[in-house]
Structure formats: structure tokens, C-alpha cells
Amino acid sequence: MAEERSLSICFVASEIAPFAKTGGLADVAGALPIHLASQGHDVRMFMPLYSKIDSEKFALTPVEFLRDIQIRLGSQVFGFSVFVTKLPGSEVDVYMINCPSLYHRPGIYTGEWDEHLRFALLSRAAIECCQRMGWGPDIFHCNDWHTALVPIYLKTVYQWDRLFANSKSVLTIHNIAYQGLFPADVVPNLGLEEHRHLLFQQDLEAGAVGFLKTGILYADVVTTVSRTYAREIQTEAFGMGLEGVLQQRRRTVVGIVNGVDYEIWNPQTDTYISQTYGIDDVAEGKAANRRDLLSQLGLPNDEGGPLLGIVSRLTAQKGLELTFEPLTQALRYLNVRLVVLGTGESRYEDHFHWLQQTFPQKVCYYRGYNEALAHMIEAAADIFLMPSRFEPCGLNQMYSLRYGTVPIVRKTGGLADTVQLFDPASGEGTGFVFEHFDSTGFAWALKTALSTYRKPELWERLRRNGMQEDFSWQRQGAEYERLYARLASSG
Ligand code: ADP
Ligand code: GLC
């Protein structure tokens, strides 16, 4: 059960769905706060106002008392104003920092020379807006490297302000692969020159400063998005160089599996799909969605054989090279179809493009980002492929379970925590799980999935098991509430 006392939570993130999204962080940031607010907590959110955010569609309103604010970052002064809107479907206020010189760029992330300034400003702006609101939140919840300087700013630049005397900070690591590593000479421009001694000295000597590492050192609690990943990142194999500092702070490293927003990812109400369905009419629902999807993508409308789906950022993390050989064989010799949605590294894009050219009647590769298509694939596919090399949590496997789309996953991170290998003897389990990161492991899982698919009774059981799983924020969010409450009362 959630704790009684209502808390004030300042939630800061670089992306929040539906305003701006590149991956799962946006989904989490767009859903957890709604749950927290529904439990009576006062949640206020901060993110950049990127130029691609549609200010009319989201009815952004200027905040009178948050105009023309100036923040000095080293030798530069940045001016910004703030707009506010509600997180759709809730009363949660989302404050967007309008600083055109930093945020009016084609993408959310840029890799340009001033990337450190873009997110240092966000972190500082969130704190300064709280000051102007006269609001000292119980918890500052920051996410990933972009906002990981919030804890050190609270403990240095804003330490004088008694408003934050009782504020605690939580840093959630959604992905340790992105650390916000910059040359050490940016330190003055972060406004941290006077506090250099607090930064990780060995890194400075080596000429670098890391946002995420600094956050790990100074956040009151570090969380990550599954229990298995919390263990994994404390090892050399997964820690990407941060295992040492995480081990140092191991008593405050907590794994909380992400939730799913079932208002958005629910085949019974999904407005993107051509036919809604539930657990009792899943076969008919999927058949209708499959017909529509295949015809929209220009693939022959063939009823036979399973449809395989992939929706993914195409990066090394997602391990899709494991599918190359086994999928080519399956497409050559078996009655299967494949739909892939994703964009990223060219080695993956080129392969899926080649696969489509080689099997034009069986494969469609959609290169790009398409929210509607992501939902349509979940609804139409029979099997979802997620062979990740590492996966902090992963959301698509949980969406798949709810849509009756059986996931094939590698046993790592959140995939290990959310999908159980199906056991035909007991009828327990929700998907196909392989251990070793090699294509033999994936080939085994694919073969097992395809042979189970040919046994309709077993398949129905497996699909039902998955659809009955509950990863709602109602359940997962309570863990954050307990954590916040413990921190807030820790003095
Ligand atoms: P990650 O955050 O590592 O990308 P997750 O599984 O946690 O992985 O979340 C991915 C989210 O991004 C899901 O909501 C998924 O549907 C979405 N997504 C990824 N690639 C695309 C794409 N090309 N088009 C639409 N949605 C995508
Ligand atoms: C990251 C991870 C993914 C996780 C998401 C939300 O992008 O790669 O596994 O689900 O963040 O926490």
C-alpha cells in the first residue's frame, strides 16, 4: 500500500510523452507522474521547450511570473521564459523552459558542442522556477544524465536557500550507456568551478567530467528501472565504467521495474488500431488488425503463418544482429512474415532494407519513427522480437504481453524480470527467453516459438498468460511512493 502523507515532487526530464519522445524515458516520464498525482501528491514537471513541440496543439500558456529569467553559466548568461500545460489526461503541470538559443534545434539531442549547456540549463532552470514559486519540493526526481546535475546543484549553488533545506534527490538511471561525458574544461561553464573539488578527481585529471557519474555521487538515492539491471550495472560487464561508483553507493541503489500506461497501451481502447480486442476475442481482433496492417504496408494479405514484429531504436543495445541469420533462414524456408519499424545505425537499417528487397512478399521495413505504426504492429503481430544485448527495463515486451503478442527476449535487465519462459508441461510462462548473447540462442527461441505457434491450444494458453500480466503504474508506482516517503521522513 502507498504511504498516507502527500508529498511534493519536482520531476525533471529531457523527454516527456506525448510532447517529445525518442524512447522509453518519455513513456515513463509521461505516466509515472499521473499515477503519483492520482495518489494525492503535488507533482510539477520540467522539460525543455523544443521547437518541434506543437504549442497550439498542447495549448501552451506563458507563466507571467516566470519570464525573462537569467541564469549565468560561467561566462555566458542565458535568458529564458516558461510556458505551462497539463500532462494530457491529468492535472499535472508541465513547465517548459523556453530558451530558443539552446532548444530550437531539429532534434531533442544534438551531439553539438553545447549539449552540456542545454541540459545544465534545464537542471538549473527547474530549481530556479521552484524558487520563484516559493516551492521547496520534498523530492527532486531527475532522470538520466541530462538532469543528473540537479543533486550537486542543490548541494552547492543553491545550498544557501533554506527553501530546499529538506529536499531530497532521486536519480533514475534509464540507460547507463548514455553518461553525458564532456571535456573537463566545461566545468566553469556548468557553474561548478568553485566546487571542482567535489567532482570525480580522477576523471578531471584524465580531462573529463561525467554528468551521470556526478549524479550517482550526489543523489540521495539512485534508482534504475529493473531489479536485474540494478545488479547488472554494478558489474564490469554492464556498468560501462560506472560499476565502481555504483558499488560505492550500493546501499542506495534500488531497482524498480517500470510500469505501463494502460490508458495508452491497451488493445481494448487503442485508437490507433483498426479493431480493438480483449482477452476473449484476441484471435479475431489480431486477424483483423493483421489484414489491415499488411494491406496498408502493401504486403499480400495471406492468412497463414505467424507475423513477427520489431519496433525498436536500431542501436547496438537492441542486439538485432542476433536475428540476421535465423530470420533470413526462417523467411526463406517457412511461412512467416516480418514487419520492422525503427531507425538508427546503418548496419541495421541496411540489413532490414536488404531483407525487404530479398523477400518483398514477406517483409516490410519502415525506416523512421511512427507512433501509430508502433501500436498497429503490437496489435497485428503474433510474436515480438527483443533480443537485447542489455535492457535496463524495456517497455515494448510489456506492451506486447498486453496485446497478446508473444515476446522473444534475451534474459537480461528488465526483460529477465518481466517475461518468463513458457513451459508447455505446466502451461506457465509468458514468452520465450534465451540466455546467451549469440544467434544460436535466438535461433532456439525462434524455433521453439514457431513450433508452439503450431499448437493452437498451447498458443492460446501462452497468449492468455501474457495478457493477464499486470505491470500497471498502480502497482509499480507504489514502490516509488514508498521510496519517496522513506526519504522525505529521513531528515
Ligand atoms: P528504449 O527506451 O531503450 O528505446 P523501451 O522499450 O523502453 O526502449 O521503449 C521504447 C519506446 O519507444 C516504446 O514506446 C516504443 O514503441 C517506442 N519506439 C521505439 N522506436 C520507435 C519507432 N521507430 N517508432 C515509434 N515508436 C518507437
Ligand atoms: C531506456 C532503456 C529502456 C527503458 C527506458 C525507460 O531508454 O533503454 O530499457 O525501458 O529507458 O526506463
Question: Are 435 and 478 members of one domain?
Answer: no
Residue 153's nearest CA partner among 97, 195, 189, 210 is 195
Q: What is the pTM of this model?
A: 0.96
Looking at residue 301, its pLDDT comes to: 78
pLDDT at residue 491 above 90?
A: no
CA of 13 to the centre of ligand 2 (A): 13
Cis peptide before 407 (omega within 30 of 0): no
Report if residue 307 sits inside a domain.
yes
The total domain count for the chain is 2
The residue nearest atom 24 of ligand 1, judged by CA position, is: 369
Angle ∠(251,256,261) on CA atoms, nearest 5: 160
pLDDT band at 2 (very low <50, low <70, confident <90, very high): very low
**CA torsion 190→196→198→204, rounded to 10°?**
90
Ligand nearest to the CA of 476: 2
Atom of ligand 2 nearest to the CA of 317: 8
Nearest-atom index, ligand 2, CA of 23: 7
Burial of 188 (0-12, 13-18, 19+ CB in 10 A): middle
Ligand 2 pocket residues where CB is under 6 Å: 23-25, 28, 174-175, 225, 258, 391-395, 414
Decide the pairing of beta strands 181-183 and 208-210: antiparallel
251 plus 132 within the same structural domain: yes
- Answer yes or no: are the C-beta atoms of 306 and 336 closer than 8 Å: yes
Mean pLDDT, to the nearest integer, of 407-430? 98
Note the pLDDT tens digit of each residue in 333-348: 999 999 999 999 999 9
Is residue 307 over pLDDT 50?
yes
**Residue 152: pLDDT above 90?**
yes
453 with 481, same domain: the answer is: no
Residue that wins the pLDDT comparison between 366 and 75: 366
Amino acid letter, residue 205: E
Angle at 307 between CA 306 and CA 310, to 5 degrees: 140
Q: Hey, what amino acid is at 416?
A: A
Q: Which ligand is nearest to the CA of 416?
A: 2
Site to probe by mutation for ligand 2, drawn from 25, 108, 145, 260 as the one with most ligand atoms within 8 Å of Cβ, is 25
Ligand 2 atom at minimum distance from 27 CA: 6
User: According to the model, what pLDDT value does residue 4 have?
Assistant: 67
SS3 of 410, please? Answer: strand
- pLDDT per residue as tens digits for the range 39-80: 999 999 999 999 999 999 999 999 999 999 999 998 899 999
Clarify whether residues 187 and 118 are in a common domain.
Answer: yes
The full DSSP string for 54-80 is -TTTTT-EE-TTSSSEEEEETTEEEEE
Residues 92 and 24 in one domain: yes
Q: Which residues contact 34 (CB under 8 A, 6 or more apart)?
A: 87, 89, 90, 92, 261, 473
Tell me, yes or no, whether 224 and 349 share the same domain: no
Average pLDDT score over the chain: 97
* Å from CA of 137 to ligand 2 middle: 26
On whether the CB atoms of residues 7 and 56 are closer than 8 A, the answer is no
Answer yes or no: do 122 and 233 share one domain.
yes
Task: Say yes or no: CB of residue 395 within 6 Å of ligand 1.
Answer: yes
Q: Is 270 a domain residue?
A: no
Which atom belonging to ligand 2 lies closest to the Cα atom of 395?
10
Residue from 377, 395, 400 whose mutation best tests the ligand 1 pocket (most atoms within 8 A of CB): 395
Here the CATH number for the domain that contains residue 303 is: 3.40.50.2000
Question: Are 216 and 170 contained in the same domain?
Answer: yes
Tally Cβ neighbours within 10 Å of residue 350: 10
Q: Is residue 352 part of a domain?
A: yes
- Atom in ligand 2 nearest the alpha carbon of residue 172: 12
Q: Does any ligand 1 atom lie closer than 6 A to the CB of residue 367?
A: no
Give pLDDT, residue 5: 83
- Domain with 434, as residue range(s), is 282-470
Query: Looking at the structure, do residues 313 and 182 belong to the same domain, yes or no?
Result: no
Whether 479 has a pLDDT exceeding 80, the answer reads yes
pLDDT at residue 251 in the model: 93
Residues 451 and 479 in one domain: no
Model confidence pLDDT, tens digit, residues 242-292: 999 999 999 999 999 999 999 999 999 999 999 999 999 999 999 999 999
Asked if residue 163 is part of any domain, the answer here is yes
Q: Indicate which atom in ligand 1 lies nearest the CA of residue 342.
A: 23
Residues 294 and 243 in one domain: no
The confidence score (pLDDT) of residue 337 equals 97
Q: What are phi and psi of 151, to 5 degrees?
A: -60, -45
Percent of the chain with pLDDT over 90: 97
Q: Are residues 453 and 480 in the same domain?
A: no
User: What is the residue-wise DSSP string for 388-399?
Assistant: -S--SS-SHHHH
Instruction: With residue 431 as reference, give the H or E element that holds it.
Output: none
Residue nearest to atom 10 of ligand 2 (CA): 394
User: pLDDT tens-digit profile of 199-253?
Assistant: 999 999 999 999 999 999 999 999 999 999 999 999 999 999 999 999 999 999 9
Asked, for residue 418, whether it belongs to a domain, the answer is yes
| Ligand 2 pocket, mutate which of 233, 395, 399 (most atoms under 8 A from CB) | 395
Q: Residues 439, 324: contact at Cβ < 8 Å?
A: yes
